[in-house]
Each structure stands twice: as structure tokens, then as C-alpha cells.
């Protein structure tokens, strides 16, 4: 792999942050989905939340970035509950890529990425050289510079997802949260995207928290895995420690064998299935 010249992030040193949930209960309508959950997001690492459909992993992510108000308990950023923060201040520390982001018709890549600068602009201050630079860095880091003038609709799924990540990067936050960023991508683009996120962590020092479906990719890219079931955390820790056949069976109800990944040595989950033993 050739060396890519990745420009340094706009803010030279990434500040350290402490994001944690205490007794966090979240839900929609009358139903609680996440129950009294404690979580410390490890600073400077890639954390992946895994679990079966409907286990509350996306809900938890939404709660961590204040898209959902806690029913009980708190989410604290640097020791202060999120509700005590100014929303712009949070937006300069935590960025989010939602599961199905929407963009206006006909928007160009450069314009969309530029909108990530929102929390850095005041009511009257419009656009500065700093904004230009942040957009440029974000495009370069996601290898989308040459797409800048295209419209979003013209792009392939993989390119579009990179552009959305560029928008979150232009926001220039120390924490980046992503809700199933690889959905709708084929395997090759999934790996591309996760490599990119890994790069953001290692080269740019960002703390990454994401929800992923694919356990094997999660094991490969996560430094910290949070396994959830029915709104509770069943196990968390480094993939090698916690992803065992027992845990996978408990979390997903899937009989399997766990073997070392021939490439990275991380756990590789091989499902047994019912009919082909």
C-alpha cells in the first residue's frame, strides 16, 4: 500500500475526553429499550457496539449523542451531564453519522461537507479560511477530493458514505460516532470504509464509536467491543478476550466456533448452522 499523505487534522492535538453513561435508560414511546446501563467509552480507541437486531445498540448510540433524552440516568461528557452542555459545544466535541442521513436534492459534495462546519460558525460569521481548510482536510482524509464538484446523487454507495464521513470530519470533533456505517455496502467497500475509520483513529487520534452488524469485521477493527442483548451489556473488552463461542451464543443465539483470524489473529466467528454440521 502506497503511503498516502494525510494532512494533519485542523486542531493539531486531539484533546482527551471522557464519555460515559450511568444508569442510562432509553426508549421510544412507552417502551424502554436500554435498561439502566453503565458504559465508559474508552478514550482514543475504536469501540464497536454489537448485538442482535433490536437489542438497543443504535438506541444507545443515539442516547450517547443526545438524540434521545434519557428516561433515567445520565450521559456525561467530561464529567458534566449532556443536558448541561450548550448544544454547539457538544457538536464541536462529538460528531455523528446517523444510519440513514438525508441530503437535499442536487447538493454537491463540497457543499455537503461544508455543512459540517455548522457548529464552528456563529449567527453572523459565515465562512472563513479555517472552514475551507477543514473541508479540504476532510475531503483528503476520505479520498474524496476529486469528487468535490459532483452531486451526491451521481456517486456510488461507497463514495457517498465516504462523503458523509467527510462531513462529520469537517465538523472537526474528537469523538466520531457512527450508526451502522457499512450497511448497504459490499464487502470490499465495507473493508475500505473500516480501514478509513481505523486511519482516523490511528493517524488523527479520533475516538471512534460505531454500531456494526458484522461480528468478524467488528473483531478485526475494534479495540473495544461492547456486546449487547435486550438493552443490557453482556460483555465488553478487547475482542480477543470477550468474543468466545459462549458469548456469541448468548448474544446472538448462534451456535458457532471461534477460531483465530488467519490474517490478524483476532477472533473469527464461524457459524455452525443447523443443517451442515
Partner 1 sequence: MAVIERDPAPPTSAAPGAHSVIVRARLLRRSRTVGVTLVLAAIAFALFVGTMMIGSFTVTPWQVVRATFGFESDGGINYVVRDLRLPTAATALAVGLAMGLSGIIFQRLLSNPLASPDFVGVSSGASFFAVGSIVMLNFQGELVSVAALVGALLAALLVYVLAWRDGITGYRFILIGIGVSQFFLAGSGYVLSRADVYNAREAMTWLVGAVGQAGDTELRVLLVSLAVVLPVVFVLSRQLSALELGDDTAKALGARVELMRVSLMLTAVVLIALATATAGPMAFVALIAGPIAARLVGSGSSALLAAAFVGAIIVLTADLVAQHALPSQLPTGVITGAIGAPYLIWLLVSVNREGRGG
- Residues in contact with partner 1, total (CB under 8 A)? 63
CB 221 within 8 A of CB 261: no
Per CB under 8 A, 92 contacts partner 1: yes
Burial of residue 223, with CB atoms counted within 10 A of its CB: 0-12 exposed, 13-18 middle, 19 or more buried:
middle
> Which of residues 12, 30, 87, 253 is near partner 1 by CB under 8 A?
87
Per CB under 8 A, 183 contacts partner 1: no
Least Å distance, CB 193 to partner 1, is 11
CA–CA separation, 69 and 92 (whole Å): 19
3-state secondary structure of 96: strand
> Which of residues 111, 198, 214, 230 is near partner 1 by CB under 8 A?
111
CB 49 within 8 A of CB 213: no
Per CB under 8 A, 124 contacts partner 1: yes
Contact range with partner 1 by CB under 8 A, out of 117-125, 214-222, 244-252, 266-274: 117-125
Contact range with partner 1 by CB under 8 A, out of 71-79, 123-131, 212-220, 242-250: 123-131
Per CB under 8 A, 101 contacts partner 1: yes
- Write each residue from 18 to 47 as x if it is in contact with partner 1 (CB under 8 A), else as -, in one continuous string: ----------x-------------------
CA–CA separation, 227 and 184 (whole Å): 22
> Phi then psi for 258, rounded to 5 degrees?
-115, 120
Least Å distance, CB 217 to partner 1, is 14
Contact range with partner 1 by CB under 8 A, out of 39-47, 73-81, 114-122, 204-212: 114-122
Contact range with partner 1 by CB under 8 A, out of 34-42, 111-119, 205-213, 238-246: 111-119
| 22: Cα separation from own chain's centroid | 20
DSSP lists the bridge partners of residue 225 as: 48, 237
CA–CA separation, 266 and 225 (whole Å): 12
Pull the grid cell for residue 164.
458523509
Among candidate residues 236, 235, 234, 214, the one with its CA nearest the CA of residue 223: 236
Least Å distance, CB 252 to partner 1, is 27
With vertex at residue 227, the alpha carbon angle to CA 253 and CA 266, rounded to the nearest 5 degrees, is: 95
Q: Which residues form the interface with partner 1 (CB under 8 A)? A: 1-2, 4-7, 28, 62, 65-67, 87-92, 94-96, 98, 101-108, 110-112, 114-116, 118-119, 121, 123-124, 126-127, 132-133, 135-136, 139-146, 148-149, 151, 171, 188, 191-192, 262-263
Amino acid at each position: 500500500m502506497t503511503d498516502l499523505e494525510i494532512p494533519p487534522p485542523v486542531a493539531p492535538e486531539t484533546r482527551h475526553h471522557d464519555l460515559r453513561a450511568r444508569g442510562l435508560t432509553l426508549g421510544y414511546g412507552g417502551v424502554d429499550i436500554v435498561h439502566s446501563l453503565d458504559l465508559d467509552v474508552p478514550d482514543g480507541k475504536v469501540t464497536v457496539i454489537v448485538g442482535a437486531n433490536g437489542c438497543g445498540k443504535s438506541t444507545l448510540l443515539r442516547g450517547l449523542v443526545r438524540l434521545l433524552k434519557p428516561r433515567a440516568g445520565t450521559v456525561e461528557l467530561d464529567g458534566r451531564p449532556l443536558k448541561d452542555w450548550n448544544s454547539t459545544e457538544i457538536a464541536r466535541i462529538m460528531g455523528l453519522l446517523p444510519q440513514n442521513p438525508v441530503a437535499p436534492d442536487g447538493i454537491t459534495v463540497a457543499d455537503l461537507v461544508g455543512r459540517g462546519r455548522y457548529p464552528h460558525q456563529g449567527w453572523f460569521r459565515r465562512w472563513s479560511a479555517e472552514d475551507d481548510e477543514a473541508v479540504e482536510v476532510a475531503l483528503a482524509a476520505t479520498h474524496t477530493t476529486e469528487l468535490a464538484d459532483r452531486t451526491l446523487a451521481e456517486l456510488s454507495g461507497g463514495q457517498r458514505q465516504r462523503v458523509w464521513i467527510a462531513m462529520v470530519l469537517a465538523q472537526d470533533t474528537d469523538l466520531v460516532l457512527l450508526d451502522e456505517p457499512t450497511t448497504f455496502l459490499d464487502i470490499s467497500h465495507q473493508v475500505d470504509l473500516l480501514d478509513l475509520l481505523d486511519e482516523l483513529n490511528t493517524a488523527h487520534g479520533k475516538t471512534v464509536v460505531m454500531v456494526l452488524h458484522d461480528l468478524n469485521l467488528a473483531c478485526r477493527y475494534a479495540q473495544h467491543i461492547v456486546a449487547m442483548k435486550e438493552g443490557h451489556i453482556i460483555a465488553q473488552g478487547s475482542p480477543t478476550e470477550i468474543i468466545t463461542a459462549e458469548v456469541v451464543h448468548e448474544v446472538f443465539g448462534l451456535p458457532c466456533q471461534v477460531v483465530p483470524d488467519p490474517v490478524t489473529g483476532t477472533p473469527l466467528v464461524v457459524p455452525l448452522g443447523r443443517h451442515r454440521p
